[in-house]
C-alpha cells in the first residue's frame, strides 16, 4: 500500500501540472467578434471593413460616377472630368490598400463591380448616340462582363475561396500573368481603354463626321426636332428651355460648343491599347472557360462518368 502511494507521489512530482493561463491569454469572443480578456478589456477590437480607406475611396468613386452620369446627356466637359477622376481613383485605392494593410475581398469585388458598371453605363450612352453602332457597344459590354465574371468564378471554384483573380500562373497564360501582376501594364490598359470611350463620348458632341445631325439646323416648329438620347446638340435651346437667353440655356450652349480635334487625337492614340484590352478580355474568357472544363472533366472522372452499360 505504501509502495502504491509512493509511486503516485513520484508521478505527481514528475508530471508538471498544466499551467493556468494568464488572464490576457484567456481570450473570449464576444457577440460582435472582438477578442477580450477575462476582465472584459478588448485585446483586438473588431475592424469595420466597410470603413477601410480603400473602400471609402471606392464609395467616393461611385458618387463621382453617378454625378458624371447626371451630367452626361448635356454637359460633356463636366461629365468627362468627373468620370476621369473616378477612374483615376481606381489606382489610388490599390496604393491605400497596400499602405494601410487593408486589402480585402470586399474591396476587390467593390472595385471590379464599380469598373464594370461605370464602363457599361458609358457604352450604353454611346449606343444611344450612334444607334448604327449599338451592336458593337453592346458586344463590348457583354464581353467585359462575361470575361471578368467567368474568370472570377473559375478562380474561386478551381483555386479555393482565398485565391485572388489577379494570381494567374504563367503556365496558364503568360499574357494574363503579365496583365495582372505588372501594375504598370494593368494601369495603362485600363486607363487608355476608358480614355478611348471618353474620346468617343466627346466626339458625339463635336464631330459632324460621326454625328452628321450636328450640321443640321432645325427650327422650333419642326416636328422632327426632338431631344434624341445621345445627340444633345441636335435640338436648339428653345426646345429645351422656356427662355433661350436664360443662364441655363447659355450654359447648355457653352458646354456643347466643342472642337473635335483633341478628341480625335485622343481616340487615335488610345485605340490600339483599347483593342489590346478587348483581346485580353477574349483570352481571359477562353482560358477561364477551359479551366472550368478541366475541373468538370476531373469531377466526372472521380465520379466514374460516363457509366458504360455492361454487356449481358
| CA 116 – CA 57 distance, rounded (Å) | 17
**Residue 175 neighbours by CB under 8 Å, 6+ apart:** 280, 283
| CA 103 – CA 195 distance, rounded (Å) | 27
- Please say if 111 is a catalytic residue: no
Q: Which three cell numbers stand for residue 74?
A: 448635356
For 214: left if phi > 0, alpha if psi spans -120 to 50, otherwise beta; the answer is alpha
Q: Is 192 exposed, middle or buried (0-12, 13-18, 19+ CB in 10 A)?
A: buried
For 40: left if phi > 0, alpha if psi spans -120 to 50, otherwise beta; the answer is left
Q: What are phi and psi of 309, to 5 degrees?
A: -65, 130
User: First and final CA of the chain: distance in angstroms?
Assistant: 76
Specify the residue for cell string 476587390. 108
**Among the options 115, 144, 162, 296, which is catalytic?**
115
3 state SS for 237-264? HHHCCCCCCCHHHHHHHHHCCCCCHHHH
Q: Which residues are catalytic?
A: 115
Amino acid at each position: 500500500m505504501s509502495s502504491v502511494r509512493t509511486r503516485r507521489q513520484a508521478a505527481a512530482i514528475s508530471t508538471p501540472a498544466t499551467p493556468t493561463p494568464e488572464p490576457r491569454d484567456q481570450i473570449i469572443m464576444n457577440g460582435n467578434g472582438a477578442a477580450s480578456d477575462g476582465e472584459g478589456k478588448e485585446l483586438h477590437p473588431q475592424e469595420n471593413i466597410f470603413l477601410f480607406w480603400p473602400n471609402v475611396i471606392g464609395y467616393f468613386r461611385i458618387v463621382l460616377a453617378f454625378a458624371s452620369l447626371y451630367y452626361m446627356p448635356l454637359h460633356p466637359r463636366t461629365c468627362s472630368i468627373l468620370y476621369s477622376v473616378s477612374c483615376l481613383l481606381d489606382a489610388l485605392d490599390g496604393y491605400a490598400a497596400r499602405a494601410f494593410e487593408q486589402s480585402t475581398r470586399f474591396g476587390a469585388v467593390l472595385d471590379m463591380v464599380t469598373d464594370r458598371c461605370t464602363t457599361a453605363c458609358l457604352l450604353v450612352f454611346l449606343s444611344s448616340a450612334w444607334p448604327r453602332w449599338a451592336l458593337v457597344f453592346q458586344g463590348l459590354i457583354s464581353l467585359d462582363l462575361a470575361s471578368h465574371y467567368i474568370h472570377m468564378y473559375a478562380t474561386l471554384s478551381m483555386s479555393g475561396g482565398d485565391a485572388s483573380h489577379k494570381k494567374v500562373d504563367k503556365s496558364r497564360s503568360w499574357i494574363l500573368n503579365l496583365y495582372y501582376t505588372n501594375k504598370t501594364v494593368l494601369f495603362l490598359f485600363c486607363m487608355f481603354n476608358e480614355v478611348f470611350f471618353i474620346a468617343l463620348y466627346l466626339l458625339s458632341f463635336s464631330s459632324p463626321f460621326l454625328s452628321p445631325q450636328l450640321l443640321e439646323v432645325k427650327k422650333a416648329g419642326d416636328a422632327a426636332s426632338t431631344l434624341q438620347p445621345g445627340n444633345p446638340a441636335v435640338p436648339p435651346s428653345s426646345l429645351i428651355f422656356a427662355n433661350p437667353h436664360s443662364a441655363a440655356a447659355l450654359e447648355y450652349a457653352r458646354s456643347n460648343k466643342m472642337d473635335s480635334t483633341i478628341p480625335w487625337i485622343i481616340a487615335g492614340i488610345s485605340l490600339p491599347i483599347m483593342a489590346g484590352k478587348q483581346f485580353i478580355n477574349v483570352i481571359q474568357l477562353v482560358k477561364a472557360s477551359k479551366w472550368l472544363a478541366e475541373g468538370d472533366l476531373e469531377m466526372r472522372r472521380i465520379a466514374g462518368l460516363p457509366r458504360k452499360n455492361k454487356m449481358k
